[in-house]
Amino acid sequence: MSRNGRPDTGEIHYDLPSPYVPHACGLLHLPRFIAKAKRHVKDELGKSYQRNYKKGFDRFICLHLGIDPETVEEIVRESSSDEEIDNRLAEIFPSDLRVEKWNRELVQKGMSEMGREALASAKRKMGIEDRTDLISFADMIEFDEERI
């Protein structure tokens, strides 16, 4: 423990959106993935974020949408504005985003039996086994970035 009584998990980007913040299209986590891609293409994504970039939730949302995370990164790299990013993403997204299905999956990551085991393991590694309020991996992100 070293950062405000919290485990030191590396550099924290407090400006990244919460995974619970929806994009204008309604999808949770999408603003966060786009923000991480923006940092990555500028070589500003912290080392602690690199290991899950285009993996974890980033990969899961792309699987849900049937798109490649590399394509999202390419769109971010080549676009000159947020509006252009959104327009280009809309071109590759399926017509039915199945927003409710994705949002439910995202908020429940870590609640299956296997997920609870993985969550418990992550809490042990961080020395926060007593945090019973952290019930999903999105909650773990919120905790790590000091929003809860």
Say yes or no to pLDDT of 137 above 80: yes
Residue type present at position 144: D
pLDDT in tens, 138-147: 999 999 999 9
Say yes or no to pLDDT of 3 above 60: no
pLDDT in tens, 27-80: 999 999 999 999 999 999 999 899 899 999 999 999 999 999 999 999 999 999
Label residue 47 left, alpha or beta by phi (over 0 means left) and psi (-120 to 50 means alpha).
alpha
Residue pointed to by tokens 């993935």? 33
Q: CA distances (Å), 12 to each of 7, 104, 124, 141, in order?
A: 12, 26, 20, 10
Cβ proximity of 119 and 129 under 8 Å: no
Say yes or no to pLDDT of 2 above 60: no
Per the DSSP assignment, residues forming a β-bridge with 22 are: 28
pLDDT in tens, 96-135: 999 999 999 999 999 999 999 999 999 999 899 999 999 9
Q: In a 3-state reduction of DSSP, which class is residue 28?
A: strand
Q: State the DSSP H helix or E strand holding residue 140, giving kind and residue range, or none if neither.
A: helix 137-144
Q: Give residue 142's pLDDT.
A: 95
pLDDT in tens, 85-107: 999 999 999 999 999 999 999 99
First to last CA, the chain: 16
